[in-house]
């Protein structure tokens, strides 16, 4: 029984390990870098999944916490694919190097407000 408990404790500790530094997003430039990791990079799948998680999580929070009348971002139906949104965000941000040191989520929503404005 002790061995099972020790193994479970070791697994739980490993599951809650701190992610590598490249998965800590401090600014828009770091999010752009993460969302544009080349396919040839061994961390491509992980980086892309993390990028998509940031995009979906930020929008999900916005959608759940903002009344419809107060929204400035309105994603069309059907929704675009996450990979397309990530690619469009990277291109948009790369064309605005002055925003790379700005807050990642603020910059993401500047992009989203331009790309998916609400029609009022």
The residue extents of the domains of the chain are 20-115
**For 33-62, what is each residue's pLDDT tens digit?**
999 999 999 989 999 999 999 999 999 999
Give the separation between CA 53 and CA 47, rounded to whole angstroms: 10
Label residue 19 by pLDDT band (50, 70, 90): low
- Burial (CB count within 10 angstroms: exposed 0-12, middle 13-18, buried 19+), residue 75: middle
pTM of the model: 0.80
């Amino acid at each position: 029984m002790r061995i099972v408990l020790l193994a479970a404790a070791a697994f739980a500790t490993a599951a809650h390990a701190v992610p590598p530094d490249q998965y800590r997003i401090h600014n828009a430039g770091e999010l752009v870098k993460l969302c544009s990791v080349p396919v040839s990079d061994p961390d491509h799948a992980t980086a892309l999944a993390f990028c998509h998680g940031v995009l979906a999580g930020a929008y999900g929070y916005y959608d759940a916490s903002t009344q419809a009348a107060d929204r400035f971002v309105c994603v069309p139906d059907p929704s675009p694919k996450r990979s397309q949104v990530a690619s469009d965000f990277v291109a948009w941000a790369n064309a605005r190097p002055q925003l790379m040191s700005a807050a990642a989520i603020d910059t993401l929503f500047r992009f989203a407000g331009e790309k998916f404005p609400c029609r009022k």
